[in-house]
Chains A and B, each alone.
Chain A
Amino acid sequence: MNGHDNGQKKVSRRGFLKAAAAAGAATAAAGCGGNGEIDFAEFFQSHFKEMSKDEVRSVIKRLEDKYSSKYGKQFTVKATEPMENVLFGYALDLSRCIGCRRCVYACVRENNQSRDPQIHWITVLRFKKGEKWMDLEESEKYYSPDKVPEEGYFYMPVQCQQCKNPPCTKVCPVQATWTEPDGMIVVDYNWCIGCRYCMAACPYGARRFNLAEPGLPKDEANPNTHYLGNRPRYRGVVEKCTFCVQRTREGKYPACVEICPVGARKFGNLLDKDSEVRYIIEHERVFRLKEDMNTQPKFFYFFSI
């Protein structure tokens, strides 16, 4: 690591770092190992929301080439824009879920999560039936019976709740995570500095951190990716459920909806009054997790029977 000041260009672009520039210290980023792959263009990349169309295109091209050679297959990295008049919402029927965890692994495959160390975006919690209220502390996430559903228990999958009032985006010191117009909360993995403030802020424990280099086997990598979604991550960045941004912005259902064998998972546009989620919200007694935190999730749970 040779000390080169990175100059004005960056400073003017990132107000956040102005103070740092004034301090002027090139206190060197000590202690980072790395394998010496430092990409000039990557280093100087703008914030995703501030990039021009051309810049986005060149970033995507660069990433596609990089992933394609790394994983030995042609990757596409899209930057599909949100649709007009769409606000994504999710509903989950707790009386149907049988806790089979198929959604967890479908998500891992679709979204290129690290296999080793293991990263799951969805956690299925098991609760005892018949308690007065659901005590998250009493839930079990490592249950592994021979067969599910077990007598006397119900299951509650938890993933990013895509809050309307998200605490996580507010604490990010570099604005690497934000809410998209269609309601999805996304992370720019090239901008995330890995401070994990958002993980501390999230009341649902929905964010995951890449402590080590993500272990994504070549043959299992999903090459259909989105810049803000399932493209392979770096070490030291935070990731989370994006409602499968790469699928849903093209009209498809998220992977967890597609796989759920009992159809407990419902997905749709909250602004469309004919959508399934709207019907459920209007006709079922839905609740949201930790409503008292005023996070206003767009993820609704209900018991249909």
Chain B
Amino acid sequence: MRIFRLGLLSGLFLTATFSFFAFSALATGEETNPPQAEEENPAKFENEPATFIELQDAQEAADEEAMDDVEEELVPIPEKPGYYRNPAGEIVDDFGIIMRLYESPNACARCHYSKEQYEKLVLRWDQSKHSKNKVTCIKCHGGNDKASTIAEAKSAKTTDFRLTKPSLLTLHGEELFAKAFDYCGQCHGTIYRDWKAGIHGKRTGSWNGDKEYWVCIKCHNPHNPKIRQIKPKPAPIRPARLASKGN
């Protein structure tokens, strides 16, 4: 094969006379190993996390590890016990949460306090646009952040605006995941429309059959929905350094 192809190549390049050439009728010395058993679906993308959230989280964990010993300096405020000023000059509580004019999440955290909840949810939320736009815990999760008893807190009676779908308090796991667009779509209407049409978001599976429609929270962490930066795969090798192989 090779001889044939290269022969014609040289013919094309060098002369206007196309040449026919020869091949040697050598028997091909190919051993025929019995083919081995095949594993199913080998083209799957090993080592890739299943969802973009996992990818981002892995990246964030790696970053955190790298930054581990960089502690934020918090200066206590004498006239406001329990509150501090961070290096940027903002007033924060002892978790580093910037104080704003809303009650949740600080109200919620009176009971819902664990290191994990705080670090994974509230801290993350605090850096998000949701926090800047005062989309607080109760906007999605429901409940009453002005309550004084647990029963009252769980009741839906607050004066605050909330999403009209059932409260996230009553939905968990799979059910919650499958319905994410119902919640997000109530504020992000145009994105929801685009998502339904297939512009926004991702679909996998079959272009003419069954597809999986990736719901919002498969890519966006609801507590900080902005797509985070990730490490890119390596750049292509510059041609000058291409290995020269061949015979």
Given contacts A224-B43, A253-B204, 5 further A-B contacts (CB under 8 A): A36-B24, A148-B230, A195-B13, A257-B204, A263-B201
Contact B242 A19, beta carbon cutoff 8 Å:
no
A207-218: contact bitstring with B at CB < 8 Å (1 yes, 0 no)?
Answer: 000011101000
In the complex, B4 has a CB within 8 A of chain A: yes
CA of A6 to CA of B22, assembled, Å = 7
Number of interface residues of A (CB under 8 A): 106
CB closest chain-B residue, reference A276: B198
A181-219: contact bitstring with B at CB < 8 Å (1 yes, 0 no)?
Answer: 000000000101111000000000000000111010000
- A residues near B, CB below 8 A? 1-6, 17, 19-21, 23-40, 42-43, 65-66, 68-69, 72-75, 86, 93, 98-102, 104-106, 109-110, 116-118, 120, 123, 141-149, 173-174, 190, 192-195, 211-213, 215, 222-224, 234-237, 248, 251-253, 255, 257-263, 266-269, 272, 275-276, 279-280, 283-284, 304
Other-chain residue from A28, A33, A100 in contact with B21 (beta carbon distance below 8 A): A28
Q: Given A17-B18, A101-B233, answer yes or no on A253-B205 (Cβ-Cβ < 8 Å).
A: yes
CA of A49 to CA of B24, assembled, Å = 27
B220, chain A: closest CB distance, angstroms: 10
Contact B4 A235, beta carbon cutoff 8 Å:
no
The 5 A-B pairs of least Cβ separation, nearest first, read A29-B7, A263-B202, A20-B18, A276-B198, A27-B19
Contact B206 A146, beta carbon cutoff 8 Å:
no
Contact B28 A37, beta carbon cutoff 8 Å:
yes
- B residues near A, CB below 8 A? 1-13, 15, 17-26, 28-33, 35-38, 42-43, 45, 48, 52, 55, 59, 194, 197-209, 214, 219, 227, 229-238, 242-247
Chain B residue numbers with a CB within 8 Å of A237 are: 5
Other-chain residue from A4, A142, A261, A304 in contact with B194 (beta carbon distance below 8 A): A304
Other-chain residue from A6, A42, A253 in contact with B20 (beta carbon distance below 8 A): A6
CA of A35 to CA of B243, assembled, Å = 20
A25, chain B: closest CB distance, angstroms: 5
Contact A255 B20, beta carbon cutoff 8 Å:
no
CA of A12 to CA of B35, assembled, Å = 37
CA of A17 to CA of B8, assembled, Å = 10
Q: Given A2-B24, A143-B235, A261-B219, answer yes or no on A43-B197 (Cβ-Cβ < 8 Å).
A: no
Chain B residue numbers with a CB within 8 Å of A279 are: 197-199
Contact B52 A262, beta carbon cutoff 8 Å:
yes
Contact B45 A32, beta carbon cutoff 8 Å:
no
Contact A144 B45, beta carbon cutoff 8 Å:
no
Chain A residue numbers with a CB within 8 Å of B242 are: 117-118
Contact A144 B219, beta carbon cutoff 8 Å:
no
